[in-house]
Amino acid sequence: MSDTAYFLRLALLLVLQILLLNLFNFSQYLTIFFLPAAILCVPVRRGGIYALAVAFIAGFLTDFFADGMLGLVTCALLPVGYARTWILRWIFGPDFFERGEELSYRRLGFWPVLLALVLATLLFMLIYVWADGAGTRPFWFNLVRVLLSTLVSTALSLFTVSLFTPERQ
Amino acid sequence: MTRGKETGNLILTAAVFILMEVAALVLLSRSATLQNIWINRFSHRVMAMNWRAEENIRGHFRLREQNEQLAAENFALREELRRYQAMDRLEEEQEHLAATKGRFTYIPATVVKMSRNNLHNYIILNKGSEDGVRPYSGIISEQGVVGVVQAVGKRYSYGLTLMNSFLSVSARIGRNGLVAPLVWDGVSTHRAYLKGIPPHVEIPEGETVYTSGFSFVFPPDIPIAVTQGVSREDGATNSIAVRLLQDFSSLRYVTIAQNPSRAQIAELEQRQEKEEES
């Protein structure tokens, strides 16, 4: 996938994410984010610093336009950008980046991609919920919120991956 | 990609990540009060951990210095222990003296004058009859026997030291050994003889000689000398050379030991002698 195609899709996702955060408030236990999946789908030929830059910009724009605290999403999304290389290497093998493959259900299999999505989303949610609570909320509340949000966000992220790799399907 | 380049890339990525994350945390702490407090608390905790780790590392490198300090302190403590042990020994000796207190009284005194170069050496002490000193009292020090008080003035006493050929002290070899009179050799500052030792008695060298307690002048078991060798005195008896324990050149403080029953014993002896004469 070219950088332009990626950024167009990312911009669309950002708009959807901001609208979702501003217009829909489902429950205090549920926060939906599909940006971690978008960071996981950064073109494979690009390095870690590129993914970090994308995560920072995407997080900052979301924070800025959504009704939240400035820096919260950025703070949670950056570790996903940093861990992206490790997650993909661990699940798809050490030569994944050398092969230059894109994240695709057809080529890599549904379950490995789902595992990568779960790990990325879980990492994001752990930091997001932890920082959002700032040590004031009970552990069980945070745990339920992390698990529920990860479950729903991962389900939505499955479509996000499809959006980023349409030509392969 | 070479291994070195890959490592460099990893470090660079990690550094960029840390920088961006710090920037995000700064943004977050400035936009919300609760998060600001939380981040500050967290950063303080991290700083405390860093200081502790730093202190641990510094402490590790200070171990050598601390070990040296401990060794010096250990040495000082051992010295102190030795001093206390010496004090204990002294106390034991004093307790021994106290055990004879029923029969003897003790008066501390200072040496005012003492001769050492004559055949009949003497000593003058700063205690006299006003202090309760009476003639024929023993003079001792922490090293051993010094002499006998011969005459007493109001404030001063005159005594004969062991370095006086007129003086003879009843002595015992060892705690339970032979009793014999001890007299100075008339020449040396540290040599005396035990007279009248039967030839069949073997006296080992290095045996301590104590006061016998068979006189009313000295309490028993006050050390006097150490045996050195045997010499033939006449055909019937031997003399044993002894090295005096008392160093007269450094003598300054003494104790006067006197027997309160001395007059009563003397009177008893005189009465018995008169009865025998009649």
Contact yes or no for B37 and A79 at CB 8 A = no
pLDDT number for residue B71: 80
Is the residue at B142 inside a domain?
yes
Contact yes or no for A135 and B38 at CB 8 A = yes
Q: Do residue B224 and residue B140 come from a single domain? A: yes
Number of domains in chain A: 1
H or E stretch covering B193: strand B191-197
- Return the residue of A nearest to B38 by Cα: A134
Hey, CA dihedral for A58, A61, A67, A73, is it positive or negative? positive
pLDDT number for residue A168: 47
What is the per-residue pLDDT across B3-29, written as a single tens digit (0 to 9) for each? 777 788 888 889 999 999 999 999 888
Containing domain of residue A75, as a range? Answer: 3-164
Is the residue at B232 inside a domain?
yes
Backbone angles phi and psi of B154, in degrees to 5: -65, -45
B38: chain A residues, CB-CB within 8 Å: 131, 134-136
A59: chain B residues, CB-CB within 8 Å: 24
What is the per-residue pLDDT across A29-56, written as a single tens digit (0 to 9) for each? 888 998 999 998 888 878 888 899 999 9
Is the residue at A131 inside a domain?
yes
Q: Do residue B49 and residue B127 come from a single domain? A: no
Interface test with B, best of A57, A75, A97 (most B CBs within 10 A): A75
State the nearest Cα–Cα gap between B36 and chain A, in angstroms: 9
State the CATH number of the domain containing residue A38: 1.10.1760.20
What pTM was computed for the model?
0.51
H or E stretch covering B30: helix B3-31
* Bridge partner list, B115: none
How confident is the prediction for chain A on average, in pLDDT? 86
A85: chain B residues, CB-CB within 8 Å: 13
- Return the residue of A nearest to B15 by Cα: A49
Q: Do residue B110 and residue B246 come from a single domain? A: yes
What is the per-residue pLDDT across B185-234, written as a single tens digit (0 to 9) for each? 888 888 899 888 888 888 888 889 999 888 888 888 888 999 988 776 66
Is the residue at A169 inside a domain?
no
Containing domain of residue B14, as a range? Answer: 3-61
Q: Do residue B26 and residue B119 come from a single domain? A: no
Ranking A81-85, A115-119, B251-255 by mean pLDDT, the lowest is B251-255
Q: Tell me the residue length of chain B.
A: 278
For residue A13, is pLDDT > 50? yes
Is the residue at B87 inside a domain?
no
The whole-number average pLDDT for the span A115-119 is 93
ipTM rounded to 2 decimals: 0.86
Is there a contact between A122 and A150 (Cβ–Cβ < 8 Å)?
yes
Q: Do residue B130 and residue B258 come from a single domain? A: yes
Is the residue at B132 inside a domain?
yes
